[in-house]
Amino acid sequence: MYPILLNLKNKKVLVIGGGKIAERKVSRLLLAEADISLISPTITEFLQKLVEEKKIVHQKRKFKKGDLENTFLLIAATNDKGVNRQIYLEAERKKILVNAVDMPDYCNFFVPSIVDRGDLLVSISTHGKSPAFAKLLRKKLEEYLPKELSKEVRRLGELREGQKDKNPRERKETAHQEAKQILNSYFKP
């Protein structure tokens, strides 16, 4: 696997399924400012509220061949393995990034468990082998990593911007020292 963070701003993302798992996926995709469409005969109250607020588009029906047109990224969140397999095979033919939730054989990417501290994002993956372990580790890291780290990362970014005129070696040394000082202030060396 090759770890990567995707810029999904204004990219068409299709979520197939309308249950609790789809809720979690849609919530995170909204934070990424994706253009989200949802296909499912039924959806949760939470998802219906997002439709009413025009944050997502919902097609009230089952998945059918051809639904993947112009899709950049796809999440298959149905509880039907046969449908998820069909979705995966069509996505593969069309060279679309696809994740079938809890079905690693029908994924060409995995969604990691994440610790989100604003400008600091820590992702945890078990390559689909144990989402439960990734979730438990995420909870431990959430307890351990202070929320204030986002503020510190922002400050380091501002420092970096102000150092653009300096030579690369000096910039790198300054960045390293500042980062080390911050980490030492939060965590015992």
User: In a 3-state reduction of DSSP, which class is residue 108?
Assistant: coil
H or E segment and range at residue 97: strand 97-100
CB 48 within 8 A of CB 106: no
Which strands make up the sheet holding 73-76, listed edge to edge?
57-59, 35-39, 12-16, 73-76, 97-100
Identify the sign of the CA torsion 102, 105, 109, 112: positive
Tell me the per-residue pLDDT of 66-101, one tens digit each, with 9 for 90 and over: 999 999 999 999 989 999 999 999 999 999 999 998
pLDDT number for residue 52: 98
Mean pLDDT of the chain: 93
Q: What is the pTM of this model?
A: 0.84
Tell me the per-residue pLDDT of 109-126, one tens digit each, with 9 for 90 and over: 988 889 999 899 999 998
Structure-token match 């909870």, residue found:
139
pLDDT number for residue 189: 66
CB neighbourhood size of 118 (10 A)? 12
153/51 Cα distance (integer angstroms):
34
At 72, list the tokens.
């950049």
CB neighbourhood size of 89 (10 A)? 12
User: In a 3-state reduction of DSSP, which class is residue 27?
Assistant: helix
Give the C-alpha distances (Å, rounded to integers) separating 162 from 87, 120, 132, 178, 187.
48, 20, 42, 13, 26
CB 96 within 8 A of CB 108: no
Amino acid at 4: I
